Chains A and B, each alone.
Chain A
Amino acid sequence: MAIVEFSLKDLEKLAGRALTKKDLEERIPMMGSPLEKAERGRVWFEVFPNRPDMLSAEGFARAVRMFLGGRIRTYSVQQGGIRMDVSPSVKQVRPCIAAAAIRNVRLTPDAVESLMQTQEKLHDTLGRKRRKVAIGVHDLDKVKPPFTYKAVAPESVRFVPLGKATKMDLNEICKKHEKGQAYAHVLAGSKLWPVITDAKGDVLSFPPIINGELTRVTNGTKNLFIDVTGTSQSAVKQALNILVTSFAERGFCIESVNVGGRRTPDLSPMKIKVKADYVNALLGVDLTETKITQLLSRMGIVYAKGMASVPAYRTDVMHCMDIAEDVAIAYGYQNFNAEKPRGTTIARRLETKEWTNAAKTAMAGLGYQEVKTMLLSNNGQFSKMGVKGNACEIANSVTAECTQCRTWLMPSLLRTFSQNMHVEYPQRIFEAGDCVLPDGKAETGATIIRKIAAAVSGTTAGYEEISAALSAFMGSMGIAFTLVPAEHGSFIRGRCAKVMARKVAGFVGEIRPEVLEAWGLEKPVAAFELEALKA
């Protein structure tokens, strides 16, 4: 979820109109960009992942301007003379590149702030944290074209990275520079690393890590050079289009670069066939072609004779359904007549849920309070319980408490007691819930077991009480059962029985003092746990 921050004044200047409280709080959110907050002349909006073009102040203002009735602006690209050669050596490491020059630049503080935010947000979203797309913005006048994009041995190239005073080779940058440490993993596994150099061999950029200090952009920068590198040509193209059209919104000139024989950027619109009938059938409305044209123009899309022209900065349009959504947004979700549900279908309940509900009612009736605990657990479900077992293991949990799926409920009940030692006793609790076991035969490698467990804790809690509760519970559920003396690591020897019945299996007994101690419990606990057997 991307939250972007803008100066309201800058936004208004770019949109070419004042933005009222109503615009900010009611109309702009209806474009699909809710206002998060507004204070001291600054505004924060959420931008959905399908609209990276709205991550920049310029792009956001453009969308707002058109949505509120402003005109569609078209952008022209001047053919420039700059050449960028692409060496085949980059294929193995970072094959895609596009570039552009921006002329007549006047970098106001607002423009700089917006550029920095746009670059950062594009890196994080569309760029997948620089793996898929990374952007370099340079002072064009500090270097001499033609440029070369190539992959080199890390020790063979040395330059002063942005923010440093001394030359470092690529290896040193990855080890010592903050950006190197943060992003070196993107290049892991490759022996040659990408650089962009100029005619003199000076380094502009070491993508996706860092630019050279040489091309640092300052207030006085007049002309910009932009490189976008990555692993997906379409994403690289999209990022460049978003950037250059943002600059164009500030009145700067876009100039193309010859990148390995192709001219970039290419701002020609995407054409997609969209029939009015299709839109009407999908939305349940009856709009004329003219009306659809009007609506789509508010989304920046030119529509005529069943053909939509989608501007080059839009990255989200894959199917005519996406165009239909733009029609719906421009029409206003609030203006659709909601249709009361009609048509008959017959509902079916899951028997397991019904059974569980009955079981829960039975336990509550016995004075046991239902608890709902986490399905995520850790090895404590075995080690603290004096038992051994296998669980589904999580590879990458950020929380040490959550490294396995629970295989039984008893640990959760004891944990609940340990959290409630200040609450009046006796405490009687139960849980009915899913447990997960590894199962090589199952499609997903795991299987769900539905269990129910109950426990009582207090000075007089013991086998007599819990076995009586078990008996009453089984009676309520209509299950005939027998108790057979059993051994179990969690229960006191001689005070544990196996529950034998046709539809369920489980244990009942008094919890061992060493288990109580492991959970930090000070009062005796007696408990049972049952699992529903598959028919």
Chain B
Amino acid sequence: MPYKLTDEGKRYLEHGLPEERFIIFLERPMSISSLKAMPDFSIALMWARKKGWVTVEENMVTPLKKPASYPEMEALREVADGRDISETDEKLLLGRKLITDAKDVYAEVKALEGSEVANLTADMIKSGVWRNIRLREYNVAAAGKAPFPGKLHPLSLIIEKIREAFLDMGFTETAGPLVESSFWNFDALYQPQDHPARDMADTFYMTTPSSCRLPSPMLVNAVKEAHENGGGTGSTGWRYNWDPNVAKKPVLRTHTTSVSARTMHGLKPPAKAFCIGRVFRNESIEYKSLPEFTQVEGIVLDEHVTFRDLLGYLREFYSRMGFEKVRFRPGYFPYTEMSVEPEVWFPAKKAWIELGGAGMFRPEVTKPLGVSCPVLAWGLGLERLAMLMLDLKDIRNFYYRNDLGMLRRAPIWL
């Protein structure tokens, strides 16, 4: 078994055993009090008596014999030279803690006993050495260098907050196509085929895919009738010839209302649904505009809801977004009547901020989709909300430019 000298062992090897030095020094009987100043006196006296070299009587130490050799010293030398020693010597030296298992994992920290150290290590704790060391005090006022955290994007957090708000209010989550037919994006929402929003200047049209399939002839015909003559809703309709080929044109959806239309189709009240997703407008990439952004929209189908319920849902929704003060202005959307533009009080800016749109779907929208009850709907663009919350001015901070410096610093509690 390999051993190594302990600090005490090393010292003895250099200077001799305490009892060795003691017996050499002790030529005649001497009083304990006169010997006490000797280094390692207690250890030396104990071993000298144990080995029968001296007797102690009445405070006087009397030498009996001088040994011819010192087996411990020889054994220490052997260990120091890396040679094996006898089992008897092992016992002896281990007993006196002059040698130690060379594999003693704590040897190093034990060496630190009594001193001041910078780091508290696991070895110090396990070996118990911690009891005999002092831990250096730090400058605790100085903050360390910040690591690069892995985090979610602020928009993800806002999306999650809105998602949870809708779920808490009993709304089922829905999703729909990003490449959408004009039928679902416009026609099913009673937007006439010459509506400015359908212009090439506003909407992305596709070359691939080149055409979409229309839904069932019954639904298509009902939508056609609504456009042309009101389709039995009591409306005059838009009074023009509706063209199914225009409805087949694929677009990148311009709003999540297309998903609401798909969801509404054949849905039985009472029902609530919401959708959060990317929408697209044919705009250039500038300080205030992006060709894509994220929209959220919720709908409520219920036989018994009125305009007052719409306002109530809006209040509840916005309060869950942290806006306690909400007011309502008339707005305009081609597919709702009693269209509302909600404004929320934004305390940080001390201003009313227009945030989103709402309304009740027109019968020209709902009836062709097989819905005969009132439908409440509202939605908003998330980037505007996010810019307010994060105090950003340039919308290109989203999607177009991901500034990692900003994202690393961004708070995740909004």
A and B: partners?
yes
Q: Does B360 contact A (CB under 8 A)?
A: yes
Task: Give per-residue flags for A373-415: 1 if the beta carbon is below 8 A from chain B beta carbons, else 0.
Answer: 1111000000000000011111111110110010000000000
Give per-residue flags for A354-368: 1 if the beta carbon is below 8 A from chain B beta carbons, else 0: 000100110111111
Which chain B positions have C-beta within 8 A of A318?
230, 235-238, 364
A372 with B308: CB separation less than 8 A: no
Which residue of B166, B208, B302, B401 is within 8 Å of A419 (Cβ)?
B401
Among A9-17, A28-36, A79-87, A493-501, the stretch that binds chain B is A28-36
A399 to B282: give the CA distance in the assembly, Å. Answer: 8
Q: For B250, list chain A residues within 8 Å (CB).
A: 444-446
Q: Is A294 an interface residue (CB 8 A)?
A: no
A319 in contact with B284 (CB, 8 Å): no
**Structural contact, B330 and A334, CB atoms closer than 8 A:** no
Contact (Cβ within 8 A) B156 A48: no
In the bound complex, CA of A353 to CA of B363 (Å): 32
- Which residues of chain B come closer than 8 Å to A338, judged between CB atoms? 308, 311-312, 314-315
Cβ-neighbour of B209 out of A321, A342, A419, A438 (below 8 A): A438
Interface size counted on chain B using CB atoms at 8 A:
101
Separation of A219 and B40 alpha carbons in the complex (Å): 125
Given known A-B contacts A375-B292, A396-B204, A448 and B178 have beta carbons under 8 A apart: yes
List the B side residues contacting A369 at CB < 8 Å: 148-151, 404, 407-408
Residues A364 and B402 in contact, CB atoms below 8 Å apart: no
Assess whether B283 is in contact with A34, with CB atoms less than 8 Å apart. Answer: no
Of the candidates B205, B284, B364, the one whose C-beta lies within 8 Å of that of A396 is B205
**Contact, CB under 8 Å: A353 / B153:** no
* Interface residue? A125 (CB, 8 A): yes
The proximity string for B residues 203-220 relative to A, scoring 1 for CB distances below 8 Å and 0 otherwise, is: 011111111110000000
- A232's closest neighbor in chain B, by CB? B240
CB distance from B184 to the nearest CB of A (A): 8
> When the two chains form the complex, which single residue of A329, A364, A445 contacts B150, counting CB atoms closer than 8 Å?
A364
Which residue on chain A has the smallest CB distance to residue B160?
A: A357
Choose from A334, A360, A438, A440 the contact partner of B152 (Cβ within 8 Å).
Answer: A360
Nearest chain-B residue to A419 (Cβ)?
A: B401
B-side contacts of A370, CB under 8 Å:
150-153, 156, 407
Chain A residues with Cβ under 8 A from B151's Cβ?
364, 369-370
The CA of A357 and the CA of B178, in the complex, are separated in Å by: 20
A443 contacts B291, C-beta separation under 8 Å: no
Docked pose: A449 CA to B307 CA in angstroms = 39
Interface positions, chain A 246-293, Cβ under 8 Å from B, are 281-285
A535 at the binding interface (Cβ < 8 Å): no
**Contact: A429 with B292, CB < 8 Å?**
no
Query: Within the complex, what minimum Cβ distance (angstroms) separates B251 from chain A?
Result: 9
Which residues of B have CB within 8 Å of A283? Answer: 306-308, 338
Residue of B nearest to A283 (CB): B307
User: Measured between C-beta atoms, what is the minimum distance from B188 to chain A in Å?
Assistant: 13
A428 nearest in chain B by CB position = B150
Contact flag A345-B272 (CB < 8 Å), given A281-B306, A322-B337, A372-B155: yes
Given A398-B282, A405-B252, A427-B404, does the pair A341, B173 have CB atoms closer than 8 Å?
Answer: no
Contact B152 A364 (CB under 8 A): yes
Closest residue of chain A to B279 (Cβ to Cβ) is A375
Known: A325-B338, A345-B171, A360-B152. A282 touches B306 (CB 8 A): yes
CA gap between A343 and B312 in the complex, in Å:
13
Decide yes or no: A350 and B174 within 8 Å by CB, A391-B208, A396-B282, A419-B401 being known contacts: yes
Give B226-255 interface residues, CB cut-off 8 Å to A.
230, 233-240, 250, 252
A3 lies within 8 A of chain B by Cβ: no
CA distance A426 to B331 in the complex (A): 49
Q: Let me know if A340 and B312 touch, CB within 8 A.
A: yes
Least CB separation from B294: chain A residue: A372
**Contact residue among A321, A343, A376 (Cβ-Cβ distance under 8 Å from B280):** A376
CB-CB nearest in chain B for A320: B234
Query: Contacts of B168 on A, CB cut-off 8 Å?
Result: 347
List, in ascending order, chain A residues with CB within 8 A of B282's CB: 396-398
| Number of interface residues, chain A, beta carbon within 8 A | 98
Q: Which residues of B contact A32 (CB under 8 A)?
A: 329-332
Q: What CA separation (Å) do A375 and B294 show in the bound complex?
A: 11
The answer to whether A333 touches B340 (Cβ under 8 A) is yes
Q: A394-B204, A436-B178, A445-B212 are in contact. Are A424 and B332 (CB under 8 A)?
A: no
CB-nearest residue of chain A to B398:
A372
B114 in the interface (beta carbon within 8 A): no
Check B313 for interface membership: any CB of A closer than 8 A. yes
Are the CB atoms of B181 and A443 closer together than 8 Å? yes
Question: What 1/0 flags go to B308-334 for Cβ under 8 Å of A?
Answer: 110111111000000000011111101
In the complex, A534 has a CB within 8 A of chain B: no
Known A394-B252, A405-B179, A434-B278; judge A443-B402 contact (CB<8 A): no
Bound-state Cα–Cα, A284 to B309, Å: 8
Asked whether any CB of chain B lies closer than 8 Å to the CB of A163, the reply is: no
Q: How far is the CA of A443 from the CA of B214 in the complex (A)?
A: 8
Please state if A343 and B302 are interface contacts (CB–CB under 8 Å).
yes
**Which residues from chain B contact A232 at a C-beta distance below 8 Å?**
239-240
In the bound complex, residues from chain A placing their C-beta under 8 Å from that of B339 are 325
For the complex, what is the distance from the CA of A345 to the CA of B270, rounded to whole Å?
A: 7
Tell me if B271 counts as interface (CB < 8 A to partner A): yes
User: Are B234 and A319 closer than 8 Å at their CB atoms?
Assistant: yes
The residue that B178 contacts in the complex, of A375, A397, A426, with Cβ under 8 A, is A375
Is B39's beta carbon under 8 Å from chain A? no
Residues from 427 to 471 in A contacting B, C-beta threshold 8 Å: 427-429, 434, 436, 438-440, 442-446, 448
The answer, yes or no, to whether A420 is at the interface (CB within 8 Å) is: yes
On whether the beta carbons of B208 and A234 are closer than 8 Å, the reply is no
Question: Is B205's CB under 8 angstroms from A394's CB?
Answer: yes
- Are the CB atoms of A319 and B364 closer together than 8 Å? yes
**Which residues of B lie under 8 Å from residue A368 when comparing CB positions?**
150
The answer to the question of A39 belonging to the interface, with a C-beta cut-off of 8 Å to chain B, is: no
For A372, the chain B residues whose CB sits under 8 A away are 153, 155-156, 398-399, 402
Contacts of B307 in A (CB 8 A): 282-284, 328, 336
> Smallest distance from the beta carbon of A41 to chain B beta carbons, Å?
25
Whether B316 lies near A341 (C-beta < 8 A) is yes
Q: Is A484 engaged at the interface, CB distance under 8 Å to the other chain?
A: no
A22 surroundings in chain B (CB, below 8 A):
none
Q: How far is the CA of A131 from the CA of B198 in the complex (A)?
A: 14
Q: Is B403 an interface residue (CB 8 A)?
A: yes
B117: CB under 8 A from chain A? no
In the assembled complex, B170 has its CB within 8 A of some CB on chain A? yes
Q: Do B169 and A365 touch (CB < 8 A)?
A: no
Q: How far is the CB of A494 from chain B (nearest CB, A)?
A: 29
Is the Cβ of A436 less than 8 Å from the Cβ of B179? yes
A-B contact pairs, 16 of them (CB 8 A): A34-B341, A283-B306, A284-B309, A319-B234, A319-B236, A319-B364, A339-B306, A346-B170, A376-B280, A395-B206, A396-B200, A396-B204, A405-B178, A428-B148, A429-B402, A445-B211
Query: Contacts A283-B308, A343-B302 given; 7 further ones with Cβ under 8 A?
Result: A319-B233, A324-B337, A325-B330, A325-B339, A345-B271, A419-B403, A438-B208
Residues of B within 8 A of A (CB): 148-153, 155-156, 160, 163, 166-175, 177-181, 194, 196, 200-201, 204-213, 230, 233-240, 250, 252, 270-272, 278, 280, 282-285, 290-292, 302, 304, 306-309, 311-316, 327-332, 334, 337-341, 360, 362-364, 374, 398-405, 407-408
